[in-house]
């Protein structure tokens, strides 16, 4: 029996709602076999105030090598990579891996403002890894950082412009996530020819820890199952919207989406609009 196999190269989140934990839960819910390579541990140390505990490169390499050699993968997703050395090695592994899809979630800052990518690694991400990606999935602050924008993104038109500019970095598709917009939650997908807008009603909750991780993991799972990018994004949008609608509040802090909500309550309706890119309009 063949089961789609997906590898996540990302950080481990002790709270359980983001990073590797979110990815593996999402993979399980969507019927793909999840593998992992942990790049670091994100947890708060009460004595030292340290938030990120990097894993040495040799350990990351061993995990990736084991996954590729012993199991094989149909898609790879990256999350927190933290250093430029890690990014360079992931790019090298991706070029060697027998897999058609790479989903790059350019994780830079955590929900609690924890830096998850060193400043000197941003350019390496842009030049070494993003050009290999099937799709990149930045949120609004990440898109602004990648573009070195002086102003934050605040409107759907800003998302469209950002997607068009980010496409120049070489990924086949760019998805700019509009979770921080006011009004409806609109994400913009750009394929170099058309702009695809995916819209759902905004959900009034602060409990979205790991939503971006899970969204990109859901896209990766759908790609591993053979779905085209546009359909993969739409299905993933249904998945994460249902998860956020039924998000969980824990003891303190921002809670996570309910990863099982998609199957318990069904997917959410997603409005889709497609427009041709016309240079004079943007």
Segment 184-207 shows an average pLDDT of: 92
Return mean pLDDT, the chain.
91
The pLDDT value recorded for residue 38 is 97
User: How many Å apart are CA 133 and CA 128, to the nearest integer?
Assistant: 10
Range of the domain at 259: 5-281
- Residue 112's pLDDT band, with cuts at 50, 70 and 90, is low
* Whether residue 278 has pLDDT greater than 70: no
Helices (H), the chain: 19-29, 57-66, 84-96, 122-124, 140-147, 156-167, 211-224, 229-245, 261-265
pLDDT at 85: 96
pLDDT of residue 268: 75
User: What integer pLDDT is reported at residue 187 of this predicted model?
Assistant: 95
Residue 102 has a CB neighbour count (10 Å cut-off) of 27
User: Is the pTM value of this prediction over 0.85?
Assistant: yes
Task: State both tokens at 260.
Answer: 């099982």
Give residue 279's pLDDT. Answer: 65
Domain count, the chain: 1
Going by pLDDT thresholds of 50, 70 and 90, the confidence category of residue 252 is: confident
- Work out the average pLDDT over 241-245: 90
Share of the chain above pLDDT 90, in %: 64
Is it the case that residue 221 has pLDDT exceeding 60? yes
The residue whose two tokens read 């199952």 is: 225
Q: What is the pLDDT of residue 94?
A: 87
pLDDT band at 280 (very low <50, low <70, confident <90, very high): low
Confidence band, pLDDT 50/70/90 cuts, at residue 113: low
pLDDT band at 131 (very low <50, low <70, confident <90, very high): very high
Residues 235-252 have a mean pLDDT of 89
pLDDT at residue number 12: 96
CATH number of domain containing 64? 3.40.1190.20
Contact in structure between 200 and 185 (CB atoms under 8 Å): yes
The pLDDT, as a whole number, for residue 2 is 81
């Amino acid at each position: 029996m063949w089961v789609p196999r997906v590898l996540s190269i990302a950080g481990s989140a002790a709270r359980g709602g983001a990073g590797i934990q979110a990815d593996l839960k999402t993979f399980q819910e969507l019927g793909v076999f999840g593998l992992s390579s942990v790049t670091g541990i994100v947890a708060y140390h009460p004595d030292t105030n340290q938030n990120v505990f990097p894993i040495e490169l040799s350990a990351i390499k061993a995990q990736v090598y084991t996954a590729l050699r012993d199991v094989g993968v149909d898609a790879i997703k990256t999350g927190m990579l933290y250093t430029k050395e890690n990014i360079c090695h992931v790019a090298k592994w991706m070029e060697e891996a027998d897999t058609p899809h790479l989903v790059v979630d350019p994780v830079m800052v955590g929900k609690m403002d924890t830096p998850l990518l060193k400043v000197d690694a941003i350019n390496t991400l842009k030049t070494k890894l993003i050009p290999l990606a099937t799709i990149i999935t930045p949120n609004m602050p990440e898109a602004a950082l990648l573009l070195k924008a002086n102003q934050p993104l605040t409107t759907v038109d800003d998302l469209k412009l950002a997607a068009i500019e980010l496409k120049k970095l070489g990924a086949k598709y760019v998805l700019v996530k509009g979770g921080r917009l006011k009004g409806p939650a609109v994400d913009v997908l750009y394929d170099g020819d058309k702009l695809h807008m995916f819209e759902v009603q905004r959900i009034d909750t602060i409990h979205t820890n790991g939503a971006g991780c899970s969204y990109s993991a859901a896209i990766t799972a759908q790609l591993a199952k053979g779905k085209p990018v546009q359909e993969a994004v739409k299905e993933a949008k249904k998945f994460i919207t249902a998860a956020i609608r039924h998000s969980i509040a824990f003891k303190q802090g921002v809670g996570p989406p309910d990863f099982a909500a998609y199957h318990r309550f069904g997917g959410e309706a997603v409005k889709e609009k497609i427009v041709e890119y016309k240079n004079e309009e943007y």
